[in-house]
Amino acid sequence: MTPRSIDVNIAQRTGADMSATSAAGRIAKAECILVTIPFDSGGLPVWSFTSNPKNTFDVMLVRIETDTGLVGWGEAFSRAEDVALRSLIETRIFPVIIGEEANAISKIKHKLEFGLQNFGRVGPTMYAISAVDIALWDIAGKAAQLPLVDLIGGPFAKEVEVYASLLRYGSAEGVAKATRKAIGEGYRYVKLHDIRFEEVAAAVEEAGDEAAVMLDVNCPWTVSEALAMDARLSKLNLLWLEEPIFPPDDYRGLAKIRATGRHRIALGENAGSLRDFVAMADAQAIDIAQPDVAKTGGVTELLKIAAFCDASAIEFIPHCAIFGPGQLATVHINAAQRATPLLERLYFDFDAELYGDAMLPKAGRLAVPTGPGLGFDPDMGVVERFRVA
Ligand SMILES: [Mg+2]
């Protein structure tokens, strides 16, 4: 036995805290910054949460600093300037994590989930926990001087294929034009958010054999309505059909639609944890799992879900309708998968980019960042310019 292993054994027996010497250090400071950046899409926001939808997009940043001087950035899913979520993060999350060893990522995540279970296993509480988890993985990478992908098994790919996730245009001409534009920029996969047959058919015709087309309808239908659309859409050869019914956790209903065999069913952006995916699989409701790193428990939970999918013949293609640290984390997670998933990117142009042009796809592809942690920190000039809270 080497002296080093003796030390570890003594530490385990006595409960001595050997990790206090880790490069990551202890969490000394935490801050939440809400940024909302205008964009131009040529379409309608799908997420009209208020009666006055705006063409701006939130990035809810969580910045964690350790006593060794490392800074990690995380992101919680946010829409429509979610100041309530920011308050939740500051009042219920930060007091619990200050002073913790930053490298104890799973322990901190468990402590938060266990302590806050009464406030929801799906939704804002999990978004907040997700942000902390992402920031701690960023710190872990910076402490190790390695990109995140190297900490989670290493890369299968140096770049990821990106799909253009179009908005809702509400007219056959509008969606066909956007489809053509995306193909012209080099995208080979296009996802639609229009929900009427005419618009979907127009986009599929425009794509021809130049791009595969997926359809995400964001839960508009009852089961019987969805079954009728499932039959009508079947001749369009869509790559998948995403969230056809409300509520999105009606797994029995989703299983009925999946049972027709006409479409592969994609689900999961509204899930809270691995357990929800187990329930979807048990119900025979799912072909493609779409956890969101900024909603579903961060990097730690997505890696568990990826392993579950691998063992369950379910495709793992994370949801990614975010543009901050969560998007960076998703690129690393995707790159670490053997069947490297497509990366989702909402198809619009921002007034400013948080990472310069580093996260702008070229010919439908995006390079996996090679810097430590997530690979990039946000441009603080952009953060301060568009900060709202
Ligand atoms: Mg979706």
Domain boundary among 118, 145, 172: 145
Q: Tell me the Cα Rg of the chain.
A: 21
Compute, in angstroms, the gap from residue 147 CA to the centroid of ligand 1.
Answer: 28
Read off the pLDDT of residues 152-172 as tens digits, 9 standing for 90 and up. 999 999 999 999 999 999 899
Flag whether pLDDT at 50 surpasses 80. Answer: no
Compute, in angstroms, the gap from residue 217 CA to the centroid of ligand 1.
Answer: 7
Residue 360 lies in a domain: yes
Residues 235 and 126 occupy one common structural domain: no
Mean pLDDT of the chain: 93
Residues 154 and 84 occupy one common structural domain: no
Residue 385 lies in a domain: no
Residues 253 and 358 occupy one common structural domain: yes
Compute, in angstroms, the gap from residue 268 CA to the centroid of ligand 1.
Answer: 8
Residues 255 and 316 occupy one common structural domain: yes
Once rounded to an integer, what is the mean pLDDT over residues 132-151? 98
Residue 386 lies in a domain: no
Flag whether pLDDT at 7 surpasses 90. Answer: no
Domain boundary among 145, 176, 198: 145
Q: What is the CATH number of the domain that holds 252?
A: 3.20.20.120
Among 54, 20, 25, smallest CA distance to 37 is for: 54
Compute, in angstroms, the gap from residue 138 CA to the centroid of ligand 1.
Answer: 26
Residue 293 lies in a domain: yes
Q: Which residues form the domain of 155?
A: 150-376
Residue 383 lies in a domain: no
Read off the pLDDT of residues 265-315 as tens digits, 9 standing for 90 and up. 999 999 999 999 999 999 999 999 999 999 999 999 999 999 999 999 999
* Distance separating alpha carbons of residues 325 and 236, to the nearest angstrom: 35
> How would residue 52 be classed by pLDDT, with cut points 50, 70 and 90?
low
Residue 389 lies in a domain: no
pLDDT of residue 16: 42
Number of domain units in the chain: 2
Compute, in angstroms, the gap from residue 321 CA to the centroid of ligand 1.
Answer: 8
Compute, in angstroms, the gap from residue 319 CA to the centroid of ligand 1.
Answer: 7
Q: What is the CATH number of the domain that holds 111?
A: 3.30.390.10
Domain boundary among 97, 122, 145: 145
